[in-house]
Structure 1
Amino acid sequence: MVIFLMFSGLFATVAAQDKIVLGFSQVGAESEWRTANTESIKNAVANDPRIELKFSDAQQKQQNQIKAIRSFIAQGVDVISFSPVVQTGWTTVLEEAKAAGIPVVLTDRKVDSDESLYVTLVGSDFVEEGRKAGAWLAQAMNGQANIVELQGTVGSAPAIDRKAGFEQIIQHFPNLKIIRTQSGDFTRSKGKEVMESFLKAEGENIDALFSHNDDMAIGAIQAIEEYGLKPGEDIKIVSIDGVRGAFEAMIQGKLNCTVECNPLLGPQLVEIVKGVVDGKEFPKYIPVKENIYVQSQAKEVFSERKY
């Protein structure tokens, strides 16, 4: 019995030592997409006995993420991962992680730092998402529309890249014009507020809305209805993310198109983290598969949506 207990205790010690500690800093909980992203990561870790998660919510503030990353470094975690609030300002803390010998895996968003400071980025091609939105709108509006744009968080990779991709397409259509553009910070409340200001300034001169995410579009839909217009009819709407709320809006005829941005990165992240610790090499960018959905598809695929 004593020998058995000794071996049991030794096994437990070895198992504990083999545990991979992942420090993850999330942007916040500003949207349906972000909530689904967090749940995907937490669930994937919970289902893998090899990973232990230390999780931090930055509440959409870069200083909170930098503080969390430094805390992870001080705790000596095995791998650090984070979805950066904005694109710039990470070099110093990434250099600190490198000096401590802790590999970094980016999720969802890129940073403007030397690629040697992180292992890989797993996430979406935001420029391509913007292109898809622009191509759909150009076709839906027959190349002619006054467009208002709800941008994401200022300085964030998806806001920068989705705008760039969208403009790459519409520049080929001289009668597609962005007449108002402003950040809605990726939230419903801000999306509604900014859309109200667009309507106050432009009214029925607005033909279409391009929203950098579904949550802002859903907020804008409320503003359009309160103004007395019909979203999806009087103002065509294309947005990005593909959350369930967007599909509900499409089924109701209030949203015309959503470009998918897949938040379910948890399983991929867990496999990458284990691979990093095991010495595997990865490309600097690992894409996820994504689609584009329109009103006519919404009802059919709604039950399949996981976020």
Structure 2
Amino acid sequence: MRILRSKALGFLLLLFVIIVSGCKPEGNDETGPSSEKVTASPQPSKTALSDEIGALGRPIVLGFSQLGSESDWRLANTKSIQDAATEAGMTLMMDNAEQSQEKQFEAIRSFIRNKVDVIAFAPVIQSGWEPILKEAKQAGIPVILSDRAVDVKDSSLYVTFIGSDFYDEGVKAGKYLLDKMRDHPGVVRIVELAGTVGSSPSIDRGQGFRDTIKSREDLTIVRSEPADFTKEKGKEIMKSFLEQEKEPPHVLFSHNDDMALGAIEAIEEAGLKPGKDIVIISVDGTRQAFEMMVEGKINCVIECNPLLGPMIMQAAKEIIQGRTLPKRIAPPESVFTEEMAAKEVDNRKY
């Protein structure tokens, strides 16, 4: 009897240990993942995955329409979304619109037919979205705007916009120019490489820049043309500026780094020194632009953070969980000058 009692007691103790161990919550120790943030591992734990799927009882399906692959910034943005979806344990349906709004319409309608849980997209241009957003709303699918805003009368057609403040980026560029050229004698002649016609970054960056420098009558934009955010077009348009103007401009304001990199090639081919003969201000913050700053060929870069993936996945999760999101979510961003570039270049992730 004593042996039987001893065995029974041992079994009960073992059962107690198993139960206690099994009930221990994941992530409560100092080294475990927090349940409040997106899982960092490619294969989420069961606890983290259950947080992500919420009330659905399965992984969230996100349909994402990317506007294209026109720049290093866009490639980094796409990779951030893909990586974040994997880390969050979500199913991602991604479509590249190749700079076509019509293709984005087709992609969004495809997402609706496939009954995804959330739709997100980076709009090619600002206008023309109301009808397709109404289709998504009628299908009961919430929409997240990524990177670029849309011009719609009914803001209830989308849940939130996650992306940079493009107007403020233009303001930052203008403020840098005011300081950089504060002691420059005479008229300061500025040329501008704008982005895609009708896109919100091109519209807002240009307006923010103009509103900031208008207090100085000596700062004059003598040329402004769209270069579609591409290096090739940036070089082509900058070459035409240099050929058509009687004298080189003092300043180039480029709406993104790729166009600035193309312009640098055109400036050097014209026998001029970028960053010296022509002050160059750009927007994005790519590694290549920082390397150009280290070489003294770009003077200032206004950061536009492409790593929006984790924020989009977090927003999708909270939408499915029924939480209310702010209408506007902006990532952290900075201004970098050539004096800071050497210390920061190795920190660039794209």
Partner of 1:250: 293
For each residue in 1:242-267, what CA deviation from the matched residue of structure 2 results, as whole angstroms up to 9, or x when unmatched? 11110011011110000000000011
Partner of 2:204: 161
Bigger radius of gyration: 2
Which residue, out of 309, 313, 334, partners 1:266?
309
For each residue in 1:118-173, what CA deviation from the matched residue of structure 2 results, as whole angstroms up to 9, or x when unmatched? 00001100000000001101211126510000000000000000000000111011
Which residue, out of 317, 329, 345, partners 1:286?
329
Q: Report the AA paired with residue 162 of structure 2.
A: V
C-alpha displacement at 1:103, in angstroms? 0.2
Which residue, out of 114, 126, 134, partners 1:95?
134
Q: Distance in 1 between matches of 2:232 and 2:57?
A: 46
C-alpha displacement at 1:204, in angstroms? 2.9
Q: Report the AA paired with residue 206 of structure 1.
A: P
Q: Distance in 2 between matches of 1:160 and 1:256?
A: 23
Q: Distance in 1 between matches of 2:340 and 2:130?
A: 43
Q: Distance in 2 between matches of 1:201 and 1:208?
A: 16
Q: Report the AA paired with residue 152 of structure 1.
A: G
Q: Report the AA paired with residue 85 of structure 2.
A: V
Trace 1:22-171 onto structure 2 (pairs within 5 A): 22-49=62-89, 51-113=90-152, 114-142=154-182, 144-171=187-214
User: Which runs of no fewer than 5 residues in structure 1 stay unpaired?
Assistant: 1-10
C-alpha displacement at 1:203, in angstroms? 4.9
For each residue in 1:22-60, what CA deviation from the matched residue of structure 2 results, as whole angstroms up to 9, or x when unmatched? 0000011100110000000100011112x1000000101
In the alignment, structure 1 residue 219 sits paired with structure 2 residue 262:
yes
C-alpha displacement at 1:205, in angstroms? 3.6
Q: Distance in 2 between matches of 1:38 and 1:252?
A: 28
In the alignment, structure 1 residue 193 sits paired with structure 2 residue 236:
yes
For each residue in 1:38-88, what CA deviation from the matched residue of structure 2 results, as whole angstroms up to 9, or x when unmatched? 000100011112x10000001011111111000000110000000100000
Q: Distance in 2 between matches of 1:203 and 1:292?
A: 32
Aligned residues: percent identity?
Answer: 53
Which residue, out of 234, 245, 252, partners 1:202?
245
Q: Distance in 2 between matches of 1:98 and 1:68?
A: 15
Runs of 4+ in 1 over 3 A off after TM superposition: 14-17
- Give the TM-score normalised by the residue count of structure 1: 0.94
RMSD: 1.4
Q: Distance in 2 between matches of 1:205 and 1:252?
A: 21
3-state DSSP class of the match of 2:245? helix
Distance 1:200 1:141, change over 3 A: same
C-alpha displacement at 1:117, in angstroms? 0.1
Q: Distance in 1 between matches of 2:64 and 2:126?
A: 17
